[in-house]
């Protein structure tokens, strides 16, 4: 029996009916359609996050000079604080608030009588203590239920304090996962920040979208781009800032790394400012090389093209020996990978270059296009949950709009294999016979580890210890387990070394749960004599 069928066979008929469309086996020559972005079955231990986690934890949170106040109970604020290693550097001209966990700490009485008074007081204290240029208010579930008008309060605060105050109605229950929060945060940044700066355009300027600087990834990509000769205006949003995002509209091109979390901004900037966008992947050696070469072809400057090849040759030579040593030790290993956004198939390419087969993969909160490619978007039916998320429209800005390339030139680039405003899904990268699981859970994690003989599992913190207690090494790709960067050439070597270490440490199979050696309960059978 196929491993997929063995695992699904253990479900009740009701759960099986739901999960069978979310779990498929890749078979060569057959069309692959998967169900995604739907509500999790109640009671299943999903690894998803909520709408608030997507807005505050992923998109808004890494903006270093934006002071973010969580309007809700303290547990929500604490959850989003320090859970992702979004590194950022402050300097003399840029304040950084990433080390702070700021919350209105709503109590039971606030839920009953309303929390608006408390939010106004929090804003007042934030301005007096920190003197920020921009404040973001992120609401959590109770706020949406009781009806606090955070947008009106934000508008009041803007007038009173003379700074930008953004409000995000990102209550956790909206949508089906953190993906809805990404959309809400994208909308807010477009409405309130992007395009409000007055910087002059600089030649060969780019924005890097969907890069969150986990373990320093954004810094490594920025280093490569600057070596070649590009001007990086802003990174959205790892080590990003209100100060740089204001001038993002002056860029010549947007580079989209994680399309799931921020492709909304890429689309809106194309409409409003004429800014073209290109799908890139700086995870892996071959994919980094392709992205750099595609970028040079877009600008079509002989000097940039020459400099690109020089940098690629130097960077690749510096890691060649280390990569070769890891490839020798990793060949034939089997991996499972579950991460958010488009990062799962980014890492599949990197693992494949190291000789590691990805036999199990999926996403926590993907849409169908993350699996099947952007061309399926017109066929995706919007359900009621998706309609909870505001979808804004933008118009051409006559002051800043500029057509960089004609549609004919863009079509020529696409014909040359350059992903201009398009992307392929996981199907392009995953091996035949692999199992794909959307919105995976702890039960399926354990069962597939047993069925597929997995050597290493890449996911997040929620299931890390479920995996390690089974004798399988687990690496977090949401925080890199205090390692990184993993992007670019140097990052690929860091990743290869970490995977080699993890798979060649015998400690994992020496772990024995204490209840397997000593009974947790002692007793005797009683009864009438």
**Contact call for residues 26 and 433 (beta carbons, < 8 A):** yes
Catalytic residue among 36, 53, 141, 296: 53
Residue 471: alpha-carbon gap to chain centroid: 28
CA distance 198 to 60: 22
Residue 374 half-sphere exposure toward CB, CA atoms < 13 A:
14
Whether 84 is catalytic is yes
CA distance 180 to 183: 5
Catalytic residue among 50, 126, 266, 492: 50
Query: From edge to edge, which strands make up the β-sheet containing 474-476?
Result: 23-25, 435-437, 357-363, 334-339, 456-459, 474-476
CA distance 507 to 518: 21
399 contacts: CB under 8 Å, gap ≥ 6: none
Catalytic residue among 71, 84, 249, 260: 84
Whether 182 is catalytic is yes
User: How far, CA to CA in Å, does 466 sit from each of 149, 250, 362, 441, 473?
Assistant: 41, 47, 17, 11, 10
285-299 and 343-353 helices, crossing angle to 10°? 120
Residue 163 half-sphere exposure toward CB, CA atoms < 13 A:
21
CA distance 211 to 236: 6
Whether 50 is catalytic is yes
Q: Tokens 């060949």 sit at which residue?
A: 331
Whether 53 is catalytic is yes
Active site residues per annotation? 50, 53, 84, 182
């Amino acid at each position: 029996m196929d491993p997929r069928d063995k695992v699904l066979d253990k479900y009740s008929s009701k759960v099986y009916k739901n999960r069978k469309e979310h779990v498929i086996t890749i078979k060569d020559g057959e069309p692959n359609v998967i169900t995604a972005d739907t509500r999790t079955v109640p009671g299943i231990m999903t690894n998803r996050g909520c709408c608030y986690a997507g807005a505050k934890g992923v998109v808004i949170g890494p903006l270093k000079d934006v002071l973010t106040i969580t309007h809700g109970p303290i547990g929500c604020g604490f959850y989003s604080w320090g859970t992702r290693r979004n590194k950022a550097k402050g300097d003399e001209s840029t304040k950084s608030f990433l080390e702070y966990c700021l919350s209105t700490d709503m109590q039971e009485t606030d839920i009953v009588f309303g929390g608006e008074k408390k939010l106004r007081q929090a804003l007042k204290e934030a301005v007096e203590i920190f003197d920020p240029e921009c404040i973001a208010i992120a609401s959590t579930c109770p706020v949406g239920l009781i009806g606090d008008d955070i947008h009106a309060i934000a508008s009041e605060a803007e007038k009173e304090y003379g700074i930008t105050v953004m409000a995000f109605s990102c209550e956790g229950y909206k949508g089906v996962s953190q993906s809805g929060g990404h959309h809400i945060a994208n909308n807010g940044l477009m409405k309130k920040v992007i395009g409000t700066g007055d910087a002059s355009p600089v030649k060969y300027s780019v924005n890097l979208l969907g890069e969150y600087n986990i373990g320093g990834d954004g810094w490594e990509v920025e280093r490569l781009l600057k070596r070649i000769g590009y001007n990086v205006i802003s990174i959205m949003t790892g080590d990003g800032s209100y100060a740089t995002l204001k001038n993002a509209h002056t860029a010549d091109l947007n580079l989209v790394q994680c399309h799931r979390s921020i492709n909304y901004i890429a689309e809106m900037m194309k409409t409003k400012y004429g800014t073209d966008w290109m799908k890139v992947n700086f995870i892996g050696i071959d994919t980094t090389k392709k992205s750099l070469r595609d970028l040079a072809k877009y600008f079509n400057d002989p000097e940039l093209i020459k400099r690109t090849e020089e940098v690629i040759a130097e960077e690749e030579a510096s890691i060649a020996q280390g990569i070769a040593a890891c490839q020798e030790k990793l060949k034939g290993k089997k991996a499972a990978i579950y991460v958010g956004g488009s990062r799962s198939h980014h890492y599949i390419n990197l693992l494949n270059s190291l000789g590691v087969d990805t036999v199990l993969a999926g996403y926590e909160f993907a849409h169908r296009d993350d699996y099947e490619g952007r061309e399926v978007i017109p066929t995706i039916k919007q359900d009621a949950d998706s309609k909870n998320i505001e979808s804004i429209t933008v118009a051409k800005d006559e002051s800043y709009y500029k057509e960089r390339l004609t549609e004919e030139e863009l079509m020529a680039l696409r014909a040359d294999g350059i992903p201009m405003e398009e992307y392929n899904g996981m199907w392009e990268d995953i091996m035949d016979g692999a199992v794909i699981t959307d919105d995976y859970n702890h039960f399926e994690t354990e069962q597939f580890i047993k069925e597929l003989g997995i050597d290493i599992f890449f996911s997040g913190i929620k299931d890390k210890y479920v995996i390690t207690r089974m004798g399988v090494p687990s690496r977090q790709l949401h925080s890199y387990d205090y390692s990184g960067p993993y992007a670019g050439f140097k990052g690929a070597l860091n990743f290869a070394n970490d995977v080699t270490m993890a798979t060649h440490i015998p400690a994992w199979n020496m772990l024995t749960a204490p209840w397997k050696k000593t009974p947790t309960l002692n007793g005797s059978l009683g009864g009438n004599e």
